[in-house]
């Protein structure tokens, strides 16, 4: 089975599809799928906007939902001929809800050349071993968009802003990434909101711009917490941990994941230093060179043995937060404060 495409390859593929549909070039079938809905939704919207003229849509555009129809219904619609138009468009949304989805392979093997069929799966993917995926791969276009890894997200945001002719400060980029989580669509929406409120002529987005327009605070973020741990700023780290834990829907994994990733990078940095490869550190760690001063402090404050103990502690508290032995009556907030205190005292 082929390896999953990187987000860079998916981004490139999506842009190629968008360029084609805006020029009126369409495939007979599109299978748009994956755990990250941003690119599938973006492509589906572009096809819907460009496939037909507004006056053609009444008779030649059909939108169906996987939970409300069968494969037979979709095939019947797809095999109709357009009325007073060059083509017709059939869009199947929430396709993952259709129990008979695989039966669409019958149509996709020999699609009608006057129909554009869009099969849109939300946070799901077709089985690559089965007929539907294989048939669309031969006769149409498959776009699979997977979730970005946490270290990839700031780089994606940076590229997203560059396409708009803007720079974004590394700290602003990290704060926006933390605020949006793995939701690229949310980043796009928050960016649109931010850009509408920026003064004319602004070319670089600052932390203050993100705080003001996106409604997040750097002061009480996981990003700032890991920074305080790197510099062993105990008072500030404990204060931030208390504030984060006090959030109404706080769940410990939302903190242990980023903290674990942070200490994993510190471990990798130790390994690079031992090999004399400090010059490659930012690239290997997947961080902006701007943050290397923080990692320089972190490797000093957490020598290799301490760093290994830190990773073990984070794993232990992640387990406790999920109902594992040793948590006792401690709340999620109390577990976070315990963990931060112990990391500071290793």
Residue-wise pLDDT tens digits, 71-113:
999 999 999 999 999 999 999 999 999 999 999 999 999 999 9
Looking at the domain assignment, is residue 2 inside a domain?
no
Examine the pLDDT at 183 and tell me if it is beyond 60: yes
In a shared domain, residues 24 and 134: yes
1, part of any domain? no
> CA–CA separation, 145 vs 155, rounded Å?
16
| pTM of the predicted structure, to 2 decimals | 0.81
Q: Which of 201, 216, 231 is the last residue of a domain?
A: 216
Q: Determine the distance from the C-alpha atom of residue 194 to the mean position of all C-alpha atoms in its chain, rounded to a whole number.
A: 19
Q: Please report which confidence band the pLDDT of residue 3 belongs to, taking 50, 70 and 90 as the band edges.
A: low
Are residues 129 and 82 both part of a single domain? yes
Number of domains making up the chain: 3
Looking at residue 5, what is its pLDDT?
A: 81
Integer-rounded Cα radius of gyration of the chain? 24
Average pLDDT over residues 169-198: 88
99 in a domain, yes or no? yes
- Do 48 and 165 reside in the same domain of the chain? no
Number of helices followed by number of strands (H, E) in the chain: 17, 7
If asked whether residues 138 and 60 sit together in one domain, one would say: yes
Residue 84 belongs to some domain of the structure: yes
- Considering the domain architecture, whether residues 93 and 76 belong to the same structural domain is answered as yes
Check residue 137 and give its pLDDT: 96
Q: Same domain for 13 and 126?
A: yes
Last residue of a domain, one of 216, 232, 265: 216
Residue 341 confidence (pLDDT):
97
For the residues 211-235, what does the mean pLDDT come to?
91
* Res 195: pLDDT: 87
Please tell me whether residues 255 and 306 are part of one structural domain: yes
CATH at 256:
1.20.272.10
Lowest mean pLDDT among 42-51, 59-68, 244-253: 244-253
Residue 17 sits in the same domain as residue 132: yes
* Mean pLDDT along residues 152-160: 91
Q: What is the pLDDT of residue 121?
A: 98
Grade residue 22 by pLDDT with cuts at 50, 70 and 90: very high
Q: What share of the chain is helix, strand, coil (3-state, %, to 5)?
A: 60, 10, 30
- Residue 262's nearest CA partner among 301, 236, 235, 234 is 301
In a domain? residue 39: yes
In percent, how much of the chain has pLDDT > 90? 79
The reply to whether 208 and 252 lie within a common domain is no
Same domain, 223 and 212: no
pLDDT at residue number 2: 57
Whether residue 18 sits in one domain with residue 127:
yes
Residue 250: φ, ψ to 5°: -65, 135
Q: Give residue 1's pLDDT band: very low, low, confident or very high (50, 70, 90).
A: low
pLDDT at residue number 208: 92
CATH number of the structural domain spanning residue 112: 3.40.50.300
Boundary (domain end) residue, out of 178, 197, 216: 216
Cα 342 from Cα 103, distance rounded (Å): 56
State whether 240 and 324 are in the same domain.
yes
Residue 184, domain extent: 153-216
Q: How far is CA 165 from CA 27, 39, 84, 240, in A?
A: 31, 21, 42, 34
With pLDDT > 70 as the criterion, what percentage of the chain qualifies?
99
Q: What is the CATH number of the domain that holds 203?
A: 1.10.8.60
Q: What is the mean pLDDT of the chain?
A: 93
pLDDT beyond 80 at 218: yes
Q: Does residue 174 form part of some domain? A: yes
Report for 98-107, 169-178, 190-199: range of highest mean pLDDT: 98-107
């Amino acid at each position: 089975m082929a390896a999953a495409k990187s987000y860079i390859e998916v981004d490139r593929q999506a842009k190629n599809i968008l360029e084609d549909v805006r020029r009126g070039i369409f495939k007979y079938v599109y299978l748009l799928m994956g755990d990250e809905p941003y690119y599938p939704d973006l492509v589906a919207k572009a096809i819907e906007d460009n496939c037909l003229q507004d006056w053609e849509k009444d008779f030649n555009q059909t939108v169906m939902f996987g939970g409300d129809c069968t494969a037979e219904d979709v095939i019947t619609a797809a095999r109709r001929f357009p009325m007073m138009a060059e083509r017709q468009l059939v869009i199947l949304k929430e396709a993952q809800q259709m129990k008979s989805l695989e039966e669409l392979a019958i149509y996709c093997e020999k699609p009608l050349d006057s129909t554009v069929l869009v099969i849109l799966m939300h946070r799901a993917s077709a089985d690559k071993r089965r007929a539907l995926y294989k048939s669309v791969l031969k006769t149409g276009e498959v776009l699979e968009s997977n979730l970005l890894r946490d270290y990839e997200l700031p780089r994606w945001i940076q590229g997203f802003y560059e396409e708009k002719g803007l720079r974004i400060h590394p700290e602003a980029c990290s704060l926006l990434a933390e605020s949006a989580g793995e939701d690229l669509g949310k980043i796009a929406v928050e960016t649109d909101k931010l850009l509408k409120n920026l003064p004319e002529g602004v070319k670089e987005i600052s932390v203050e711009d993100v705080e003001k327009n996106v409604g997040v605070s750097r002061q009480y973020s996981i990003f700032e917490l890991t920074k305080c741990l790197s510099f062993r700023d105990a008072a500030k780290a404990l204060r931030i941990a208390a504030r984060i834990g006090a959030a109404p829907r706080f769940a410990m994994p939302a903190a242990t994941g980023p903290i674990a990733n942070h200490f994993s990078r510190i471990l990798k940095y130790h390994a690079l230093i031992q090999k004399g490869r400090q010059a490659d550190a930012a690239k290997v760690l997947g961080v902006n060179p701007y943050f290397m001063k923080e990692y320089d402090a972190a490797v000093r404050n957490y020598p290799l043995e301490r760093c290994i103990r830190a990773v073990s502690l984070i794993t232990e508290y992640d387990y406790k937060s999920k109902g594992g032995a040793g948590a006792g009556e401690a709340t999620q907030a109390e577990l976070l404060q315990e963990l931060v205190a112990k990391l500071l005292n290793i």
